[in-house]
Structure formats: structure tokens, C-alpha cells
Amino acid sequence: MDLLTRRIEERLKIRKSCRVFGNELDRVWPPSSKEVSARQERIEQIREYARSHGWSVVIHDSGLQATFGGPE
């Protein structure tokens, strides 16, 4: 998670947002076999992660992408 945090922080220093794709999110929040509820739980974990760092986040659920932005 530290690598992801550093990557997002560095990107947000030079851009307004940082999009993270599913394959990278899978390393931190691996998908579970319980499809629907697990996916929703995973999305909530990503939202909480963003909140805890003072970022906004938009989840693009098709293929799961997250776009992090600066403070809300």
C-alpha cells in the first residue's frame, strides 16, 4: 500500500488527478470470490483509503478503476 500511496502523492503534486487501474488495485485489495458483496466492500475500502489521505475518489466500476484527486 505504501508504494501505491507514494505513486498517488507524487502524481497529485503535478496533476489534478491520478487514475489507478484494476491490476494495480488488485495488489492492495485483491478480488474475492464473493462477487457482488466483495466488490462493494472493496469499493468502500478504496473510498476509505482516499478519505484517510484527504483525497477525493471516483470509482469506475467497469473493470474497476479509481481516479484519485486532491483534497475535497
37-68 per-position pLDDT tens digit: 777 888 899 999 999 999 998 887 666 778 88
pTM of the model: 0.57
How far apart are the C-alpha atoms of 43 and 62, rounded to whole Å? Answer: 12
Is residue 18 a contact partner of residue 7, using CB atoms and an 8 Å limit? yes
Task: Return the exposure string of 31-53: e unless at least 16 CB atoms fall within 10 Å of the residue's CB, then b.
Answer: eeeeeeeeeeebbeebbebbeee
